[in-house]
Amino acid sequence: MLRFSSSLPVDCRLWRYDIRGSLAHVEMLGAQSIIPTEDANTIAAGLRELEGRLERGELGFAEADDEDIHSFVERELTQKIGPVAGKLHTARSRNDQIALDVRLYLKDALRAAQTEVRALQAALIARADEHFDAILPGYTHLQRAQPVLLSHHLLAYFWMLQRDFERLEECFARADVLPLGAAALAGTTFPIDRQRVAKALGFARVSRNSLDTVADRDHLLESVSALSLVALHLSRLGEELVLWSAPEWGFVRLADRFSTGSSIMPQKRNPDSMELVRGKAARVFGDFSALWSLVKGLPLTYNRDLQEDKEPLFDAFDTVIASLQISRGVIETATFNAEKMRSVAGGGFATATDVADYLVRRGIPFREAHEITGAAVRLCENTNRELWDLTLEEWKELDARFDEGVLESVKVEGSVAGRQSEGGTAPQRVREQLEEARTLLAG
């Protein structure tokens, strides 16, 4: 039963937060004269010594058979300073103690994830700026649709990540609540000063209801939900880089350190880094599902089921932070083949919509313009040509209202430059995006 119920192998990574919370708690106990000041000082000194031993690696968890990190800390402290260590647990329960440890961890983890999001955003901006004028085929249904700037495409991921960053910030605000003081479930009879502890630990506010405080895992669910969206966005980026690196596309070459060979085929160059990023997203989705299922139907307040919340929480953060780091490395070192992208971008009649738009600007209803352009596409298909291969005479044979302007409208560069709507792929609009993105990072 001890082996089955022990959480120490998982929650041992919370030791810094457990000691930090205990220091703030015991200093408050002394200040409030709940325990003698001398005892509070002795306990605080013992906690700091234990922290140093753990920091230096003089003490580990492998041989310990404690039930959890709290029991480990209390046992080691008692061995060092004697029975006075037992006063540390005055006016608190393991229920609000673990809630505190997890919230302290969560605040740090959220900031770490945000830092990696920003780093990947910076890499995307740098590559977008470097390849600002490169033209890429845009796709719908995985079929060539309209040409876009590669910089515009890379910045699409910047804005996905910006939403991720903002969601993580919102999660931080809801994690930034002190739970200590709720005790087991109903509060405590001792005259504790929760505001003092909140200030000492850097919390913005204290929780308002002791029952909710002990039972609440919303902040974990929200955070892992936000992480699952980060993982989803990275998976989409991974999918595109996997496709683009295939010889059939040839748009990008991943650096050697982010590629692997085959065990049997010497010619292979596999984009394993981004395949793993894509695959690890499934783990994060599973972590969220595990947490969601864990909390569903639990009566108030604490139930031992909640011991199982930390493993999916830790795994989600570890996986997403690592995936962000790998994705950044891939983006920073990838080699883009602008010539190949440009050659593909104009194929497949990608500028057909520009022809229709050109006719509309000449006063022709869009539906009629659509039919005329369709006839031009069929002509090209029957003669194995592209739209830019048609002469002005051939355009006029299709419809007398064509003039020399149509020859510009079918060029890839003209198509891109013409998308002047706000948020579009025209160079002027993409420069606006880049400036806004830089401003967000600087802020």
Task: Write the burial class of residue 436 (CB in 10 Å: 0-12 exposed, 13-18 middle, 19+ buried).
Answer: middle
Q: How far apart are CA 395 and CA 368, in angstroms?
A: 15
Q: Which own/partner pairs from 367-374 qualify as long-range (CB within 8 Å, at least 24 positions apart)? A: 372/398, 372/399
**Contact (Cβ atoms closer than 8 angstroms) between residue 276 and residue 284:** no
DSSP state of 298: P
Q: How far apart are CA 263 and CA 275, in angstroms?
A: 17
CA atoms within 13 A on the CB side of 127: 25
Q: How far apart are CA 26 and CA 336, in angstroms?
A: 58
Q: How far apart are CA 309 and CA 304, in angstroms?
A: 10
Which amino acids are annotated catalytic?
141, 262
**Coil/strand/helix, residue 220:** helix
**Coil/strand/helix, residue 167:** helix
**Contact (Cβ atoms closer than 8 angstroms) between residue 358 and residue 149:** no
Q: How far apart are CA 253 and CA 241, in angstroms?
A: 9
Residue with tokens 């969560």: 106
Query: Among residues 97, 102, 104, 305, which one has the least CA distance to residue 183?
Result: 97
The enclosing H or E element of 147 equals strand 143-149
136 backbone dihedrals φ, ψ, rounded to 5°: -125, 145
**Contact (Cβ atoms closer than 8 angstroms) between residue 99 and residue 182:** yes
**Contact (Cβ atoms closer than 8 angstroms) between residue 206 and residue 132:** no
Count the neighbouring beta carbons within 10 Å of the beta carbon of residue 133. 13
Q: How far apart are CA 77 and CA 58, in angstroms?
A: 15
Q: How far apart are CA 263 and CA 381, in angstroms?
A: 43
- First-last CA distance in the chain: 52
DSSP state of 56: T
